[in-house]
Amino acid sequence: MKSLLYIFLPCKQIYPVGCTYLADYVHKRRPEIRQRILDLSQIPPGERAKAIRETAEAFRPDLVCFSWRDIQIFSPHEGDASLEQAFTFYYSNNPFKKLAASLSGLKSLYQYYAGIRANLAHAWLIRKICPDAQIMMGGGAFGAFAEQLIEKLPAGTIGILGEGEEAVLKMVEGRPLDGERFIARQNGKTITGAGQSYTNLDGLSVDLPYITEIFPQYTAYTDDCIGVQSKRGCPYDCAFCLYPYLEGKSVRYRPAALVVQDIAQHYRQWGTRRFWFTDAQFITGKAAYPQCTEIMERIIAERLEIEWSGYIRTSLITSELATLMVRSGVGDLEVAITSGSQEVLTGLHMGFMLDRLYDGCRYLAEAGFKGKVILNYSLNAPDETEATLRESIESYKQVAAILGEDRVFPMMFFLGIQPHTDLEHRLLEEGYLSSGYNPLMLSPSSIRKLLYNPAPLNKLIGRACLAAWNRKKGPRTGSRDPRPWSGAIGKGTRLGESGVGGCKTEGSSPALDVRGSRYADSSLLRGVELNSGRDVLVTLEEILNSRKSPVKTVASTPSL
């Protein structure tokens, strides 16, 4: 093969970091291969087919690698309007609101199916334009729904599950995919490769001038948040998470020098000032302390005045790490507390103790951390009771008492059931899900199941959420980001699966203005700028107190 085209399928604006690592990996081993990255997210929907056609006809690729990152509807967090649509339809007592929600829901369903059809059509278009080209498909969305999607792709398409550097290189060099985890359709049958080769990360780096050359659309990201990977794999067994399935449970580390080299390249060549560690967890455990410490020390030593963030378990933060985090420029953080009940956390295999999570927050406060904290709660997780709901309310109070209520933003999530997770397996065994169900086929009844909020607490929680989301109050304010660029006007940002950004609300601080917000992703703005998650907890507490249930509470902090 002599040429390779990467097509990043459309999603919310997010730097296609996976494509850049793949392209660089191939280039360092086969520099004679011509490569090109096409980002469809930067192209209006009506012009995407034309862009693919023109690029493919001009480039004539021998191998086309699609990256499919997102498939989601009726998102399980309050930053997405589709959750409110679903809850209004299922739990509102107002028939007019239910009707309006059903119409909005139908529109969302149409957009969902249209998006899947369009992405599949892009692969078929490549087959038409370049009939002799090999097609490969990867990315998180494809990995999650590979069994369903492979049947709708052109025959001979090779789907990669997990990381793809070695599989792509083997394809370029004409070698068999022995030892790779893949899926394909041949002669009407689905075949799979049971192996999994893991990329050696010791030399994984990015030649930014080369990426700039093969990715003409890079200018859309020069002032955005850039993803950097410092490690792969996740050692935890969180019941609802796909990371271990996609990346494996063994954690592999990149040398800290190369991680900071990537950051420095973007800093000096593109002027980038914001970075997001795309790892499953930046601090995966005590074994990660040396690497994380060296990364932050190198950022400080090289005087890189950046803001960085990522998924971080505060339960693993020590006093020393907290000091380094603040000195190296840590920005707003997203903390997946999930529940304030240790019993619920244990049932979800979360792998941390709440007391340690609170300790990590204290260390951050003592170190002078001034950013926002989005505190993610998954209400009505398995084993939830009224008592554990009260414990979650009290856990928010504890974190707010430590960091300051004006900087802690609880966000209501609901567990989305995904294939290949322990939660899916459990619900299949319990009969909540039917064997052989298709997770991509949505209907009012299947949405209600996949957006996990089961009886008997479903109506109580739905009522609290709707009351909070419909509440009309004065302006809410959040933290003011102390970094010097926080008040800049210009760019909204999106990266990863969570963050803040969006439109300005009257009376909000600069940190909550999307044009100046410096967090990773705009999808959570709505919940943050209104602080509606706090309203949900307030309302939930009021409802529980009105029921006068003699349940156990756990905190001595004042009522909300």
Model confidence pLDDT, tens digit, residues 530-545: 788 899 999 999 999 9
185 pairs with which residues across the strands?
A: 190
Q: Is the pLDDT of residue 500 over 80?
A: no
| 47 phi, psi to nearest 5 deg | -110, 0
Rounded distance, CA 59 to CA 38, Å? Answer: 11
pLDDT tens digits, residue range 33-60?
999 999 999 999 999 999 999 999 999 9
| Confidence (pLDDT) at 416 | 85
Mean pLDDT of 356-363: 97
pLDDT: is 552 or 409 the higher one? 409
| Confidence (pLDDT) at 74 | 65
The mean predicted confidence, pLDDT, of the chain is: 86
Q: Is the pLDDT of residue 513 over 90?
A: no
User: Residue 56 corresponds to which amino acid?
Assistant: A
Tokens of 266: 């973007």
**Residue that the structure tokens 């087919």 belong to:** 49
| Confidence (pLDDT) at 354 | 97
Mean pLDDT of 135-141: 95
| Confidence (pLDDT) at 476 | 37
At 5, is the secondary structure helix, strand, or coil? Answer: strand
pLDDT > 90: percent of the chain: 71
Q: Are the beta carbons of 388 and 339 closer than 8 angstroms?
A: yes
Q: Is the pLDDT of residue 195 over 70?
A: yes
Mean pLDDT of 141-147: 94
CA-closest candidate to residue 449, choices 431, 422, 467, 465: 431
Beta strands in 399-496 (DSSP E): 408-413
Mean pLDDT of 339-352: 96
| 398 phi, psi to nearest 5 deg | -65, -45
In whole angstroms, how large is the CA radius of gyration of the chain? Answer: 23
| Confidence (pLDDT) at 70 | 87
pTM for the complete prediction? Answer: 0.87
| Confidence (pLDDT) at 526 | 54
Rounded distance, CA 336 to CA 351, Å? Answer: 12
Rounded distance, CA 426 to CA 236, Å? Answer: 17
| Confidence (pLDDT) at 472 | 53
Q: Are the beta carbons of 479 and 509 closer than 8 angstroms?
A: yes
pLDDT classification of 11: cutoffs 50, 70, 90: confident
Q: Report the relative pairing of strands 181-186 and 189-194 from DSSP bridges.
A: antiparallel
pLDDT classification of 523: cutoffs 50, 70, 90: low
Total number of residues shown for the chain: 560
Q: Is the pLDDT of residue 390 over 60?
A: yes
| Confidence (pLDDT) at 501 | 23
pLDDT classification of 79: cutoffs 50, 70, 90: low
